[in-house]
Amino acid sequence: MVGPKVHVGLAALAACALLAVHVTPASAEPATTPTFSKDVAPIFQSKCQSCHEPGSIAPMSLMTYDEARPWARSIKARVAARQMPPWHIDRSVGVQKFKNDMSLTDAQIDTIVRWVDQGAPQGNPADMPATRAAATGLYWQAERDGFGAPDIVVKTPEQTMPALHQDSWWRPLVDIPVTEPRWVRMVEIRPTNIQGRKILHHSIAYQVLNPGNVDAVNTGTGRGFGGVAANPTVDDRVNRRPQLMEWAIGKGYDRFMDGTGKLIMPGEKISWDNHIHAAGEDITSGAELGIWLYPKGQEPKKRSYLIGFTGLKNGPGALDIPPNQISHTEGFTVLRENTIITNFQPHFHLRGKAMMVEAILPNGSTQVVSYVSDFNFNWMTNYIYDEEAAPAFPKGTIVHVTAWYDNTKNNKSNPDPDQWVGYGDRTVDEMAHAWMNVVYLTDAEYEKWQADHKKPATTERQR
């Protein structure tokens, strides 16, 4: 066990010494050369190993030096381009403070890049931080982030997707096991096993309501262009049905703004909408919803509504992506209520390239809320705004979603750049909407919010 490590370590040190002779004075280099044990391993532990551990979703483990060293150049390329960790929000515009920020700091990236550039040395193994225990199967991201285990778990039956098959959807109905009204403060969906991550494209937990819970239906938004979309059935499904959560590949949890939540009542059910696709091997899996409740006596006073703000102003029929081209669409949604936006999760399929959400205020000014410039289909990250950074807008504001598509060979996710692409539910079709949770304010509450948040939380520009 010791021999190979010593051999690799000496080889790395030798390479490092050689690099020092050619690039910088030997007397200064040793003090500035990061080592895996002392400098890089702590970064991997805090930002990478939750996925890069044995048996998890990442293709390789980064728990030890021997595991990480062969991937050094690839690691450098991914972190320098900010492709990994999967945190693709643009850092120059929009909200910049988040509750679930998993990104690397500039200093952490610099450390990793210098470590690779200087030979990726192991350093003194005694400098290694204590090894964190690897997960032994599925885990709830919210539990890892310190919120404890879910209070309730609602599961679907399992379904087998053959190795080669058309996309499938199945929609089982499952009871929510509560005997009294309870308020939900956080939700998370995951496949029921690791293999399920290969086939589960999305999973939506629609709430079949108790008649006494109709206020769970969002009524605070409406179409601003033409009043009616081209396909009201699809729009109704996206914007009008109450959803406890939408999950797609790579997403974590929805944490509602403090003091807000969703109410579940006795007799209600989850109407699942699970989309699965073939992955080249037979896989049996399902989906499960973790629900974290507010303690009794701490019930929130505001509801949180999940809305899919459209990027298609004329409905699904407007999506026309020619082969071998970059194209874009726009969508507009009017806020009928004073609104706080608490998160942003762009949703595309394989041709998605970038998405920007702007607010067009009643006075004509605009604010960029969020922009993802490097969308990755495998990582539909949910960006949960910090309480103080969440933007609020007056009624009459228009939420403007701009979506860009890359249907060229330069898009590594593109299965066929010679193919025309339109709207559809299949993975090879396309769609564009921004999933956001919102909270509505009365006029008095909005005025107080504005007084308490005098500094704009978003980038503002005039059209």
More confidently predicted of 90 and 315: 90
Residue 241 clears pLDDT 90, i.e. is over it: no
Query: To 5 degrees, how large is the angle CA 116–CA 48–CA 50?
Result: 155
Instruction: List pLDDT tens digits, range 186-198.
Output: 999 999 998 898 8
Dump the DSSP string for 99-153.
SS--PPPHHHHHHHHHHHHTT-----GGGSPPPPPPPSS---HHIIIII-S-SEE
**Four-point Cα dihedral 42, 43, 44, 47, nearest 10:** 130
Tell me the three state secondary structure of residue 394: coil
pLDDT tens-digit map of 346-392: 999 999 999 999 999 999 999 999 999 999 998 899 999 999 999 99
30-86 pLDDT tens trace:
558 999 999 999 999 888 887 788 777 778 888 899 999 999 999 999 999 999 999
pLDDT mean over 201-209 = 92
The answer to whether residue 9 scores a pLDDT higher than 80 is: no
The pairing of beta strand 269-276 with beta strand 200-208? antiparallel
- Decide: 190 and 138 in contact? Cβ < 8 Å: yes
Q: Is the pLDDT of residue 401 over 80?
A: yes
Q: How far apart are CA 319 and CA 123, in angstroms?
A: 54
How high is the pLDDT of residue 218?
Answer: 87
What is the rounded distance in angstroms from the CA atom of residue 15 to the CA atom of residue 21? Answer: 10
Q: What is the pLDDT of residue 126?
A: 93
12: part of which helix (H) or strand (E)?
helix 2-23
Number of H helices, E strands in the chain: 9, 27
* Backbone Cα Rg of the chain: 24
pLDDT over 70 percentage in the chain: 87
- Give the residue-averaged pLDDT of 90-106: 94
**What pLDDT is stored for residue 459 in this prediction?**
53
pLDDT given for residue 455 in this prediction: 63
Q: Is the pLDDT of residue 29 over 70?
A: no
**Is 286 in contact with 158 (CB distance < 8 Å)?**
yes
* Residues paired with 154 in a beta bridge: 289
Instruction: Identify the band that residue 235 occupies on the pLDDT scale cut at 50, 70 and 90.
Output: low
Question: How many whole angstroms separate alpha carbon 381 and alpha carbon 366?
Answer: 25
Q: Which residue has the higher pLDDT, 181 or 48?
A: 181
Q: How confident is the model at residue 227 (pLDDT cuts 50, 70, 90)?
A: very low
